[in-house]
Structure 1
């Protein structure tokens, strides 16, 4: 008989070999999609530079299959390991913002799920997670202007316009990454993964719950998101003024060209699909 998810047996923060496999799978898949989107060109609409991706439907479809803190943490860690360290552009202090904001945004959203079989609910909450992430980044970026650690990109006599300029960027990411390359593809991908990925990791699909969408647990997680937002801002400000504490910047891409991205892409693919292949062989044995 398949083991239940760690959430069913030990809470959202429990950690065993199944949680480790979930962490590795999410980390490598998110790192893989982030790197692939780096190779795609940027295009311009009405003078506004737009990037295709990142493909957030990967995170939405896989992470929301599970309800653990570690699945959420794996999203920013994947970006750090494969999108920063392996391409030679890593700053420890600069990475803290994403670790806090992204992890807590998804961790809060997970607490809202009442019916994991309802793909529309999953897609909507996935979009909410991306919107929370971008909103937090918006506040942090504006805050850096006001404390003087970043150059003000606003009308000289009306610095308040920085709220609009940064807000447009945040809204653009919510629409492109959160909706077009997030929630909409999730409607197709999530139901095709549910019930197929979990057994490979020794789990059964999580079940729904009765009661309201917003619970006391949701309130606690939302409060953690709000309270730790200034902490994320503090670390981001330190990274701008004091260096990265631990910095790894050999700049492999600048030295060897974009072809070097194939190295971390290959590494992420080997880890992700190697794990799936290994678990499939164990299940069949």
Structure 2
């Protein structure tokens, strides 16, 4: 239930931000995405399935339902996003401390952007993607891509991530979990970085090259399995309301179903 709720909420906010304008200039900055939605809700449950729900929500509502799905192209997000959040969640010792929650959410988003940075630069070096760089100094690709990653870390990780999470998370804790028939996750004693954290960080490092290989292969293979009717290009931006509405219905249905089931058990 938590997986479906997070998946639908994150998919819905991703599509809402697609309707918002971007700021063009030296850097193209999009308003959003509103990562505090995923941060606040996913960090309530702190499970592997909560982490996996974030990229799956983007895939289902941000790719399949708008007709722009590439099977191999989704693997990078499934690996990098899931493992980044799975590691960051292991750092939480006091789930009632909004400052710690906000910092952990920022770390997860920063790791995601750093992983994507390495993968994009790697695709440039193997020749499967063209990226802006000085012709006689290809190393500048690290700077150009790094600036973009840093911008996303600031915009999505702090402005639309950690800061609103700091205020929203404590207002959701203890209120969302009972709706799904669950109790709030308790804290733990000890340091933030533990042996479990080390194992999850190692998994992130080990699987990052695999994500790169699959992503590079997707650029040359056509995606293996694709679904590309391009509904938005055909029907216009208004079609984005379809996945938004679908995600809202799924999220509401999950909460309503669990509420009825919990009430019947209590009675």
* Fold shared per TM-score above 0.5: yes
CA contact (8 A) 1:152 1:159 kept: no
Tell me if the contact between 2:181 and 2:259 (Cα under 8 Å) persists in the aligned partners: no
Task: Give the counterpart of 1:205 among 184, 193, 208.
Answer: 184
Tell me how far 1:277 sits from its aligned partner: 2.5
Residue 168 of structure 1: how far off its partner (Å): 0.6
Cα offsets for 1:165-219 (capped at 9, x unmatched): 0001101110001100000000111001000111111111011100111100000
In structure 1, stretches of 5+ residues that fail to align are 1-20
CA distance in 2, matches of 1:278, 1:201: 9
Distance apart, 1:276 and its partner CA? 1.6
Where 2:28 maps in the other structure, the secondary structure is strand
Residue in 1 that maps onto 2:78: 99
TM-score computed with the length of structure 1 as normaliser: 0.91
Residues 96, 232 of structure 1: 8 Å contact kept = yes
Q: Secondary structure of the residue that 2:188 maps to in structure 1? A: coil
Q: How many residues align?
A: 264
Q: Which consecutive aligned stretches of 4+ in structure 1 deviate over 4 angstroms post-superposition? A: none
Are 2:106 and 1:127 equivalent residues in the alignment?
Answer: yes
Identify which of 16, 22, 30 aligns with 2:10.
Answer: 30
Residues 152 and 44 of structure 1: CA distance in aligned 2, closer, same or farther (over 3 Å): closer
Find the aligned partners of 1:239 and 1:85 in 2 and give their Cα distance: 17
The partner residue of 2:119 within 115, 118, 140 is 140
- Per-residue Cα deviation, 1:219-256 (whole angstroms, up to 9, x for no partner): 00000000000000001000001110000000000000
Residues 46-195 of structure 1: pairs in structure 2 closer than 5 A:
47-195=26-174
TM (norm. structure 2) is: 0.97
Q: CA deviation at 1:152?
A: 3.7
Q: Which residue of 1 aligns with 2:254?
A: 275
- Aligned-partner Cα distance in 2 for 1:168–1:67: 30
1:42 lines up with 2:22 in the alignment: yes
Displacement after TM superposition at 1:280 (Å): 2.8
Residue matched to 1:235: 214
- Alpha-carbon deviations, 1:118-141, whole Å to 9, x = none? 000000000000000000000000
Tell me the alpha carbon deviations over residues 84-114 of structure 1, each in whole angstroms, 9 at most, x when there is no partner: 0000000000000000000000000111100
Quick one: distance in 2 between partners of 1:141 and 1:59? 24
RMSD after superposition: 0.9
Unaligned stretches of 5+ in structure 2?
none
When structure 1 is superposed on structure 2, of 273-282 and 243-252 the one drifting more is: 273-282
1:281 is displaced (CA, Å) by 3.5
Q: Distance in 2 between matches of 1:67 and 1:251?
A: 35
Residues 27, 148 of structure 2: 8 Å contact kept = no
